[in-house]
Amino acid sequence: MPSKVLIRTFSYLELLAAIRNKKTRELVLKDLSKGNSAIFESLSEICKNIILGNIRLKAADKSKLKKYKNLIVALASKPKTKSIQNKLIVQSGDALPLLIPIVAGILGEYIGSKIFK
């Protein structure tokens, strides 16, 4: 079950994942890191759930995310400070277009099941 923070920020995460230009995505993430920590909490939650196995990944998705294994582990663990976590996310914005679509399907099913109950 996704947290309220993840549900609330998911549309922003999808927007970030849709930005294909690396420089633009980096600038947007830097701007967000100044005030909106909820998005970074959501990314951390996604990484934590991937590690715990709460998000089932297909073999193809696993192989794509293997490149970002260290980043996923770093984001899932409790950071020493928020600024360190924010820097990690901003520097490695390349993982977003991979992480978000994987979670989108699962979150979409969950939200749909709640709406159409």
Q: Residue 66: what residue type?
A: K
- pTM of this prediction? 0.74
Per DSSP, 55 falls in state S
Given a contact cutoff of 8 angstroms between Cβ atoms, the answer to whether 25 and 12 are in contact is no
Q: What is the pLDDT of residues 10-39, one digit of tens each?
A: 778 778 778 878 788 778 877 777 776 787
Q: What is the pLDDT of residues 70-110, one digit of tens each?
A: 888 887 887 666 677 667 776 665 676 677 777 776 666 66
Helix%, strand%, coil% for the chain, nearest 5: 80, 0, 20
Confidence of residue 56 (pLDDT cuts 50, 70, 90): confident
Cα→Cα distances 101→10, 83, 104, Å: 11, 26, 5
Please tell me the total count of domains within the chain: 1
Q: Which structural domain, as residue segments, surrounds residue 78?
A: 4-115
Instruction: Please give the span between the terminal C-alpha atoms of the chain, in angstroms, as a whole number.
Output: 16
